[in-house]
A and B are shown apart, each in its own frame.
Chain A
């Protein structure tokens, strides 16, 4: 049983994911049951729903009820060891020494040139145990960054299932489901709670700008966790949703998505697509006083020399036609940037957009901005030149997101 052919067969068997069209997440059985639209896309190689039944109902589940969204395809790394804090502090922009155990922060990391490799959330599970969640895969980069640190890094994307439970009734659903002490979680807190003889990590985090939680559990307990939430949420309007609804909510919250609102540096082919944190609104993360971190030299030099070319802004656009991927102009004439996300916001009651502009526009010059929207009207494009105004993000601010204790809707 040791012939070359056997070996090849064994290797093939161990690499089934190579030939899988789209990998199923641990929640696929439930998603498949619920799906009426059969509208799937590939999220980092996993089958994920654009929508399950109705985008509008799914969006309003986020804002009025409780929405359940499968985040298992998110790339997850377990970072452990006595130097885990020091390693992450050197890797990422923010000061990890200020991140206490039981807390989460949103951060980003850069290559040597200061260009953003990815953004993500860092969960501090204990003093020496972290989970890093992000969009792209980074294992070689993380391992090479670990040279000289006592730290172990393992990808756990496959082993750990993730769910986002977002919306005004999300707290009540969790309490109803019997997660004792859930009311104590403040925004960006996390707790390890019992589930079916195992543990579920619940954090008060999310991608919607609403009251909400994220839950991580070992793969084997995924479906029972789903069922526990759905049962508890029956009377609270819980609804499984797809990405389209979430994308609207995150845009209202002013949150950016890697490779949608900016191109990550390992994916960018064209040199002028690379972005420094200051160019995508993440400059606030850069902690120049915490000691060395990757890209520090380049970022500080770009700041001193005024080499930052772009800026990411929120726009309010007149009218009600979404300006998705519209070109932004100064004085209706000079091209100065592009809209990367846009919608008519039901919450803000405004036509909003996230756009990347070339400085000084959006930075020191913000008047007389326009977007050119191609509105398809009965098989004919109508070009609309609409006035745009730079506004602060988030576009909506919901008190319930941060209220303590969370309200019982």
Chain B
């Protein structure tokens, strides 16, 4: 039996980050990837001859600065500087779209002067509050069982930051923290386009509507992300999201990490409460004292470890993780770039959002509660080939869209519902970019069911579990086990299902690796 110091199950970006950091520390690391290439939901894939798109995640907006630094990703060719940032655009059927320039709307184009002032005030406040949460949304959650000196100091630091806000601001921070985003937007803004976009961003990837309690947290989560030190910044990586993963993979390779493709893991071996390695689907056994699972927690425990080596209460908690995806992904191969109403050429290179009002987003959400898809879906569109010609044949264009809401457990079943949903999305696109339908050469719609099958994410959930208050921080993935270690000695979690959550941040992988290295030091 071959053996390694560490085995990482799953070569998604978090698995690779953990592997690279463990490799850098001198450990002999093996990454086992079930698919033919690494990257997981952050690949660049060809979906039609000559057309390539970022498979699920298509916008980079929260790659953890320590990941960038520790893995020297900028030297691997990753461009994260301000000149690469793209604006967000609230699309309209007619009239003028609203444009948030710079890092999450440093300036606002297309709004009244009054609204611009109101927005800048609100933006400053959102960023101020997100900044308080930021350490919590990046570091390992505090250990409630027994706070270490460092953790106590970090909590004290947070208290100080809060205090420094001043009494009024601190009160307001605490008041709004668990609010729904819709009410907060109504308090401060009037422009439906702006409110629709912000409402959409707050609930993107979640089974929540803007009026659902706690929906504001999603916006804070988004704004706790940064690029090159700029909170809320976003960009389309040249070469698609796969290029980000390639940079991480290159860092891993440099650190001596071995990667095996087409090697699905059947079982994580447990002996006497301790992992001793994994067994592949082929039956091959590979030994390691440390196994890092970068696949989702439910799959890790219920399928790979199995309930027999776990406690009942723990299995109960893991089985109850809410992880039914509500988001679909659309890839279109277009003969020519589409023309969205009222938008100039530069605008088309931005992040285009169809979410004309808070009410519209809420109405799109409503049917998903009852197992139906949105009749007028909301979506986030990018046209990556406009900035990177290598992604499409000459003159043609790639459209990549994240579409909500698409409930995992569609009442009529996705077999029957998929074509109908695709037609619904196309009708919505046609309304905003007339003529687009005629230029579609090929369309690929990934429903949560497709995502589950193709990317091995239970429930087809991008975050490996709903990212809501009850499944965040010390409760992610389950209460009592939020610190990347597990009831199985030597088994660690490093997927988006662990704190802080999803998005191409590398934070779960980073924190998991740090935890492993720290424990080794303690031992």
A296 contact set on B, CB distance < 8 A:
273, 311
B487 contact set on A, CB distance < 8 A: 112, 297
Stretch with Cβ within 8 A of A (4 or more), from B71-79, B170-178, B301-309, B410-418:
B301-309
CB < 8 Å neighbour of B314 from A90, A91, A112, A148? A112
Given the interface pairs A296-B273, A297-B273, the reply to whether A141 lies near B308 with Cβ below 8 Å is no
Nearest chain B residue, comparing its CB with the CB of A293: B311
B312, CB-defined interface residue at 8 Å = yes
Contact, CB under 8 Å: B316 / A86: no
A6 interface residue per 8 A CB criterion = no
* A295 contacts B by Cβ under 8 Å: yes
Interface membership of A10, Cβ < 8 A: no
In the complex, chain A residues whose CB is within 8 Å of the CB of B306 = 148
Does A18 lie at the interface of the complex (its beta carbon under 8 Å from any beta carbon of B)? no
Interface status of A147 (Cβ within 8 A of chain B): yes
What's the count of A-B pairs with C-beta under 8 Å? 42
Among residues of A, the one whose C-beta sits closest to the C-beta of B273 is A297
Residues A76-124 near B (CB distance < 8 A): 86, 90-91, 111-112
- B273 contacts A148, CB within 8 Å? no
Partner of B308, one of A111, A292, A300: A292
Contact between B311 and A297 (Cβ–Cβ < 8 Å)?
yes
A292-B310 in contact (CB<8A): yes
Q: Which chain A residue has the least Cβ–Cβ distance from B480?
A: A112
How far is the CB of A82 from the nearest CB of chain B, in Å?
14
What CA separation (Å) do A87 and B520 show in the bound complex? 34
Complex: chain A residue closest to B315, CB-CB: A147
| CB atoms of B308 and A148 under 8 A apart | yes
For the complex, count residues of A whose C-beta is within 8 A of B: 18
Q: Chain A residue with minimal CB distance to B314? A: A112
The answer to whether B309 touches A292, judged by C-beta atoms less than 8 angstroms apart, is yes
Contacting B at CB under 8 A, from A156-181, are: none
Residues from chain B with Cβ under 8 Å of A409 in the complex: none
**B313 contacts chain A at the CB level, 8 A cutoff:** yes
Measured CA separation A294–B312 after assembly (Å):
7
* Residues on B with beta carbons closer than 8 Å to the beta carbon of A295: 311
Contact A112 B311, beta carbon cutoff 8 Å:
yes
Q: Is the CB of B307 within 8 A of A294?
A: no
Using a CB-CB cutoff of 8 Å, which residues 293-307 of chain B contact chain A?
A: 302, 306-307
Report Cα–Cα, A107/B273, bound state, in Å: 22
Residues of chain B contacted by A144 (CB below 8 angstroms): 312, 315-316
B310 neighbours in A (Cβ, 8 Å): 292
Once bound together, how far apart are the Cα atoms of A112 and B273, in whole Å?
13
How far, in whole Å, are A149 and B312 apart by their CA atoms in the complex? 12
Residues of B within 8 A of A147 (CB): 302, 307, 315, 319
CB 8 Å contact bits of A218-234 with B (1 = contact, 0 = none): 00000000000000000
Q: Is the CB of A294 within 8 A of B308?
A: no
A83: nearest residue on chain B (CB-CB)? B308
Hey, which chain A residues are within 8 Å of B309, CB to CB?
A: 292
Query: In whole angstroms, how far apart are the Cα atoms of A141 and B311 in the complex?
Result: 11
Chain B residues within CB distance 8 Å of chain A:
270, 272-273, 302, 306-316, 319, 487
| Interfacial residues, chain A to chain B (CB-CB below 8 A) | 86, 90-91, 111-112, 141, 144-145, 147-149, 291-292, 294-297, 300
List 14 extra interface pairs beyond A86-B308, A144-B312, CB under 8 A: A90-B308, A111-B312, A111-B313, A112-B311, A112-B313, A144-B315, A144-B316, A145-B312, A147-B307, A148-B308, A148-B315, A292-B308, A294-B311, A296-B311
